A and B are shown apart, each in its own frame.
Chain A
């Protein structure tokens, strides 16, 4: 709730890597020496259902893990856009997946909405699943909340030991997203 906190909402449908994107950010915060607190939706969520992750990043102690008004968002599908757009604080940056969210939906005033053609770019890269990391790259460039190297290190933590092949494609996806903005 503190003004110094970046409270990030990541939302999409199950399978798009919403929780993973949140975890990568959380790992990145460890390397960047920042405090972080992440809560993901749990339980009845299934592939195709709605998933969300809420991540607070701060240089100070983070108290409430409950975020009701995010001040940064990354929205990956239309149902999540409709569901959450009104909860986002005015003036916030909102990165949307313009491949699958109709642009007619995104005329919301008071928000800095940035479209990223993430799903199409990911398909072109050969793996639709990296759309989340492309968007993450764009979000990082747009907001500067963390150094890109911290996120690359975060992805190393998230993939390198167990899924090394996935590390390389995700790193490329991140750099592509970063350079889009």
Chain B
């Protein structure tokens, strides 16, 4: 649908989530894009194969996901704004490279349009890569910022934000989408690039040719104690703590005074919101707490809400067997009994329906 929208005078433009990601990358000044096709994210490379060419930038369909992420590593080291995208099995293949990029403290944007797993799984929407994304994913102590859009507008806005956050903190930033959000077609406002920061730190570390200056070195191998791998780990830890204090995005829908709070992100949060609006709660109030960043997790905000609402119950809904559930339990461990944190979900490409969540709300409120 892409070419019908470009240059449209309408403020509202119609694109798929995956295409909006591509257009946001263009607007944010992404100079290089390396990827390999996989359902359900292939619209992003399809879109960028046209747009990157007309913008005279680098589009390269690599021979594999492993090659693509190492191209990202190289372009990031050279100081470029760079992006790759894939879906679950492809993201698993990229993990070695992502660990290297995190270790070398380089900025890049990675899109994961999650599908059913484990293994090749299926091509249906899933959220079962939550652990992988929020716990680093590859080897070593590292984290990646992960933004979780639940609309085409957020696919667009968050992809722009991801480039800024990657440059600001010098690290990989994930857009954790899913097969529903990636395939969704809806109107959104295709506004010009809105930078998140007034000024980004100059890339003085980049490998840009060292004539007339001291050479920069980008590496992840530290063989001797004197090389300072421990110091690097401490430095990364400090950085992650800083991000945890600065970046916790969430949506609070009706949580104040709620008897039941549903916690869900991505496509699941929209299905849940539909059910909440339909449900009158039989005199009880139902709210939705939606993490918009899944790492860092907005734990402080959830704790504040939990402290205000006495006897509130929580229902975590995920398209997985219960992964974010553990972050909710960790966040609330000092103030909410584990039995008051309920779970509804399934792996393997399953998705809840507004009706099934509606029934789950009724069942939970009766208890």
Footprint of B on A, CB under 8 Å?
1-2, 22-23, 26-27, 29-30, 35-40, 42-44, 62-66, 68-69, 157-158, 161-162
Contacts and interface: CB of A to CB of B under 8 A. Distances in A.
Size class of the B contact interface (CB-based, 8 Å):
20 to 34
Given A66-B351, A66-B353, A29 B187 contact: yes
Contact of B278 (A2, A22, A62, A157): A2
A68 B275 CA distance: 13
Nearest to A56: B186
A63 B1 contact: no
A152 to B, nearest CB: 15
A63 B271 contact: yes
A68 B353 contact: yes
Given A26-B185, A36-B187, A161 B271 contact: no
A30 B354 contact: no
B135 interface: no
Contacts of A42: 39-40, 123, 179, 183
Across chains A and B, which 5 residue pairs bring their CB atoms closest together, nearest first? A64-B274, A1-B354, A63-B274, A38-B185, A43-B123
Contact of B267 (A35, A65, A161): A65
Contact of A23 (B1, B277, B355, B358): B1
Interface string B14-56: 1000000000000000000000000110000000000000000
A163 to B, nearest CB: 10
B274 A39 contact: no
Contact of A66 (B1, B13, B180, B278): B180
A2 B267 CA distance: 17
Contacts, number: 93
27 contacts: A2-B274, A2-B277, A23-B14, A26-B14, A26-B187, A27-B4, A30-B13, A35-B186, A36-B187, A37-B185, A39-B180, A42-B39, A42-B40, A42-B123, A42-B179, A42-B183, A44-B123, A63-B273, A64-B275, A65-B180, A65-B184, A65-B270, A157-B5, A157-B8, A157-B14, A158-B1, A161-B4
Contact of A1 (B13, B39, B267, B278): B278
Interface of B: 1, 3-5, 8, 10, 12-14, 39-40, 123, 179-180, 183-187, 267, 270-271, 273-275, 277-278, 351-355, 358
Contacts of A37: 184-186
Contact of B185 (A23, A68, A69): A23
Nearest to A38: B185
A40 B18 CA distance: 13
A63 B187 contact: no
Given A30-B10, A44-B123, A65-B267, A1 B183 contact: no
B352 to A, nearest CB: 8
A30 B3 contact: no
A1 B37 CA distance: 33
Nearest to B10: A30
Nearest to B270: A63
Contacts of B267: 65-66
A40 B275 contact: no
A180 B12 CA distance: 32
A1 B355 contact: yes
B101 to A, nearest CB: 30
